[in-house]
Amino acid sequence: MIKILFTIPNFDTAGSGKALLHVAKRLDPKRFEVHIACMHNRGVFFKTVKDSGIPIHIFNYTTPMKPYIKGLKACYDISKKLKIIAPDIIHSFHYAADYSEPLAAKMAGIKWVYTKKNMNWGGASKNAWYLRSFLASAIAVQNTDMMADFFKKSNKSVLIPRGVDVETFKPLEKSKSLAKEWQLETYQRIIMCVANLVPVKGIDVLLQAFQKVCMQFRDWKLMIVGYHDNPYGQEMIALASTLGLKDQVLFCGKQNNIQDYLSLAEIVVLPTLVRGEGSPVSLLEAMASGKNVIGSDVSGIKDQLKPFPKHLVTAGDVDAWHGALINICSQATHQNVEIGNKFREYVLEHYHIDKEVTRCEALYENILNLKI
């Protein structure tokens, strides 16, 4: 039996938490004993994790490393807590360039793995990423650009893209209650973007492109599902109003029942800017739900849409996005449904959650067999 400790700072935002739980609860119980560590019990998704029955340990498993003597002592204190839990492997879902966690694991004599979830690397955090990677026993890499740009010469890295729960995310009848809640008319057709509103998501580009679409197609509405109670989110709400889109764009806020929201959509878009994504699960969920999708031609997204190059759009280019939206909005609903079904078939074959789990299980076993 291999004991795995998954670590994550918190479950305040469900994205990474869901990704962790999807893998953790599907590991073969005959071969793996699963535990989770996080820093507090707040967050809307924490109850879901607790209800899974997986043992949860709450403590600060990272520490500031400066001043260094104080940081090293704190790492040693953390290592003692890790020894009490006594996992064979720690798998970190921390997004940041922290190296105190792997250092504490090293002090405790525990193998440590991390998932590289974003395209951050250079700048002030460059040395920290190098240290984090140096101390790791293995690195789960989420897209091919990461592998080429960050880990080209690494023998520790393994490509493990995100997977999607295809039983939860599948073609559904439109949610009548949600349609009523958002006062949608039966004739209206929906473009949807599922993303928390931060600058890298390119929502400003989408709004400008959609304004031009509305000049030709008044029956389309844009629904943006994601957290917007921040400066950028408020800027986007103001921009929509300035562009005369107040009645055409719905800012739905953060929602937990994404599959129900997707039931309303005919088209799903992800206009991420040039920095790119890790392996955006929101796009996979839309594809699994049988939606016609378009996304920016950037890291992460271009892996997922590799067989569908016509569905990739130049990042940050309002005119390119306008053209792509016009093309897709010009199609009849049944055409978008047919294309969406092809996306679902592709996800079933290549991005099923079971594939991600199988790859993680192989990674853990290889680490302990010293094959990595």
- Between β-strands 312-313 and 220-225, what pairing exists: parallel, antiparallel or unpaired? unpaired
Low-confidence ranges of the chain (pLDDT < 50): 372
Q: How far apart are CA 61 and CA 105, in angstroms?
A: 10
> Do 174 and 264 form a contact (C-beta atoms < 8 A)?
yes
pLDDT in tens, 257-276: 999 999 999 999 999 999 89
Residue closest to 266 by CA, chosen among 368, 187, 209: 187
3-class DSSP string for 160-187: CCCCECCCCCCCCCCCHHHHHHCCCCCC
pLDDT in tens, 354-368: 999 999 999 999 999
DSSP E strands, the chain: 2-7, 32-38, 56-58, 89-92, 111-116, 138-141, 157-159, 189-194, 220-225, 249-253, 267-270, 292-296, 312-313
Q: How far apart are CA 84 and CA 104, in angstroms?
A: 13
Segments making up each domain of the chain, as ranges? 2-163+352-368, 176-350
- pLDDT value, residue 114: 98
> Do 10 and 44 form a contact (C-beta atoms < 8 A)?
no
- pLDDT value, residue 43: 80
Is the pTM higher than 0.85? The answer reads yes
- 176-350 to CATH, choices 3.40.50.1100, 3.40.50.2000, 3.90.1150.10, 3.30.530.20: 3.40.50.2000
Q: How far apart are CA 119 and CA 140, in angstroms?
A: 13
2-163+352-368 and 176-350: identical CATH topology:
yes
Architecture of domain 2-163+352-368: 3-Layer(aba) Sandwich (3.40)
Amino acid at 368: L
